[in-house]
Amino acid sequence: MGATRFLTVRDLYNSFPWAQEDVGLDGSDEPALEFLRKLVKQKNWRSAVSYCAYLLPRREAVWWGCQSLRRLQRQLAPAESSALDLAEAWVHDPEDEQRRAALDYATQADTRAPATWMALAAGWSGGSTVPAHLGIAPAAPDQTARALRTGLMIAMSRVPNADMDKVMNVCLEDGMKLAERPSD
């Protein structure tokens, strides 16, 4: 089995205080990945997406969020494609220049668009979250997960009920594979 960031649900919640509220379920000593598998089996999509956003390291989480959004929302407006492209550029080249480009774009974009939140997730992955001329405001550890969660929840609200189980199973299976993969 690959290396997961957290051994138990409680470990994840202890690392990210907002996670328990976002997931909506109490912490336990249940193995972290088994908990996610259980949520998927129960088709508890809201909790599973929230949990997976916290479970994955930031870079993998942004990749997973972007790929999930592409599955959830087959047609993207040009602005949404641009936001996803910038977030994915940071995943491929996680330097501050790429992170800043995603953040700068997202702070000017429509927050009703799920892709904006993927770019914010990349932009809030580290470094300062404000323009350089305003000084430094460090990203909070949970900002990436919360942005991913927000974008995916918006996208999920637009998926027809008849398609939800199929698309979410694929999205979360991808997230579990990333969580199982050994770290570099």
Tens of pLDDT, residue by residue over 88-135, are: 999 999 999 999 999 999 999 999 999 999 999 999 999 999 877 888
2 domain-assigned: no
1 domain-assigned: no
3 domain-assigned: no
Residues 130-174: tens digit of each pLDDT: 877 888 999 999 999 999 999 999 999 999 999 999 999 999 999
Token digits for 95?
């330097």
176 domain-assigned: yes
Give the model's pLDDT for residue 1: 33
97 domain-assigned: yes
Angle in degrees, CA 158, 162, 167, rounded to 5: 70
The larger pLDDT score, comparing residue 183 to residue 61, is at 61
Question: Can you tell me the distance from the alpha carbon of 48 to that of 36, in angstroms, rounded to the nearest whole number?
Answer: 6
Task: Write down the pTM of the prediction.
Answer: 0.94
Give the model's pLDDT for residue 101: 96
140 domain-assigned: yes
86 domain-assigned: yes
Domain range spanning residue 74? 9-180
4 domain-assigned: no
State how many domains the chain has. 1
Q: Which residues contact 62 (CB under 8 A, 6 or more apart)?
A: 87, 88, 90, 91, 118, 121, 122, 125, 144, 148
- Tell me which H or E stretch contains 65: helix 58-72
